Structure 1
Amino acid sequence: MNTDLLTLMQWMSPAFPVGGYAYSHGLEQAIDDGAITDADTLFDWLVTVLEHGTGMVDATLLCLALKGEDMADTARALASSKERYQEAEAQGQAFTSAVNGIYGEQTPPAPLPVAVGIAARRLDLIAPQVAAHYLHAFASNLVSAAVRFVPLGQTDGQRVLKRLHGVIEGVAARASQATLDDLGSAALGSDMASMRHETMEVRIFKT
């Protein structure tokens, strides 16, 4: 067993103190709008986010940061809404703080995908592997949000996550070969849901 892989699994675990459970990435608004009502509509929404939205963008930012490029300000500039910016920034600060505490370092904070890419430079793992674990944690958090808010049964939630494995693998592979010029998002429904969530009167998630 590769101990570096165990380290990455620790960082991506729900037990790692980044507070990911508090964020829905606009999913709460989409559910409230009736765009997501069951496992199939959740799966379709997540495929779009992973392949054409934040999933691909974050994975690319992570891989570029892993290669040594300074991507923090680029990640901030790419945030499509106030809440998306806060989501990435707050989780990135929490992640960096925890890693700094573990290793006795003073690495400055960065948005979450960039922070993970920087931290993963110490690991003897290939970029697609790191990106896939990051995307799996991202998707798992959104599935968990849907389980609580649709509501969706736990088993249906796990079925959705299993169906996403091939998608995650494909996105991670593409991101590992992507360049700065490839960065872009086309998940407009997800972006608009995130923007509208800012003024949602009653909500349980921060985003």
Structure 2
Amino acid sequence: MITDPALTLHRWLSPAYPVGSFAYSHGIEAAVAEGLVQDAATATAWIRDVLEQGAGHNDAILLAAAFHADPADLPDIADLAAALAPSANRRLETLAQGEAFARTTAAVHGIDLPAMAYPVALGRAARLCGLPLPLTLTLFLQAFAATLTSAAIRLVPLGQTDGQRLLHALEPVCDRIARDAAPGDLDALGSAALLSDIAAMRQETLTTRLFRS
């Protein structure tokens, strides 16, 4: 039984939910190693670009598409989400988190939720549980930004206050992307975050790695 949608979404998207988001840097580890991200300003710019031009933009659209979709269309959306991953570890990032989210959420809420790419599983779960799409999108993007910020704090390193300044600066970005993505128009998919994609590929061959992506 869900009494407050906001509480449910905060629980789903909190670090305590067992999806393992802490294990993924989304390529930031390689970006730091190569000097592309080296302080609070470059970390903010990097994460903003990922949100606006990369996986943040695409995953929000995929989430909304899954929310609106008929069940028969979900496998195609899930396959598209997996195909959009630019590297093996980025594919692992979305599929492993999606599987963990689906398994836990199905068990807790008693819903039929197969393993799918993370944003697709989240969108479907929100629909099945009657949660509002706008809030789901906004909190998903904020949680994604927080995951990347946490990685940057550990890798650059940044101070905790710098991390909070970064997240504060990105709040209107998350809100805008959520509004734009709400129709779930798959024709709007597209990425221009090429440095982030290349960093994700290079992260796979770093001699020493702290993260899985």
The one-letter code matched in structure 2 to 1:161 is L
- Is 1:104 the counterpart of 2:110? The answer is yes
How far off its partner does 1:187 sit? 0.3
Structure 1 unpaired stretches of 5+: none
Match of 2:156? Answer: 150
Match of 1:165? Answer: 171
Give the total of aligned pairs: 207
Q: Deviations over 1:40-71 (max 9, x none)?
A: 11110011100010000000000000112521
CA distance in 2, matches of 1:126, 1:106: 19
CA distance in 1, matches of 2:108, 2:136: 19
- Is 1:10 the counterpart of 2:11? The answer is yes
Does the 8 Å CA contact 1:24/1:142 hold for their aligned counterparts?
Answer: yes
User: How many percent of aligned residue pairs carry the same amino acid?
Assistant: 48
How far off its partner does 1:106 sit? 4.2
The one-letter code matched in structure 1 to 2:46 is W
SS in 1 for 2:93: helix
Instruction: Indicate which of 50, 56, 81 corresponds to 2:87.
Output: 81
How far off its partner does 1:88 sit? 0.2
TM norm structure 2: 0.93
CA distance in 2, matches of 1:9, 1:122: 17
Does the 8 Å CA contact 2:68/2:184 hold for their aligned counterparts?
Answer: no
What's the RMSD between the two structures over aligned residues? 1.4
CA distance in 1, matches of 2:128, 2:112: 15
The one-letter code matched in structure 2 to 1:112 is Y
Judge which range, 123-132 or 181-190, deviates more: 123-132
Match of 2:45? Answer: 44
How far off its partner does 1:104 sit? 3.0
CA distance in 2, matches of 1:124, 1:178: 17
Match of 1:202? Answer: 208
Does the 8 Å CA contact 1:135/1:168 hold for their aligned counterparts?
Answer: yes
TM norm structure 1: 0.96
Structure 2 unpaired stretches of 5+: none
Q: Deviations over 1:149-182 (max 9, x none)?
A: 1110001001000000000001111111341111
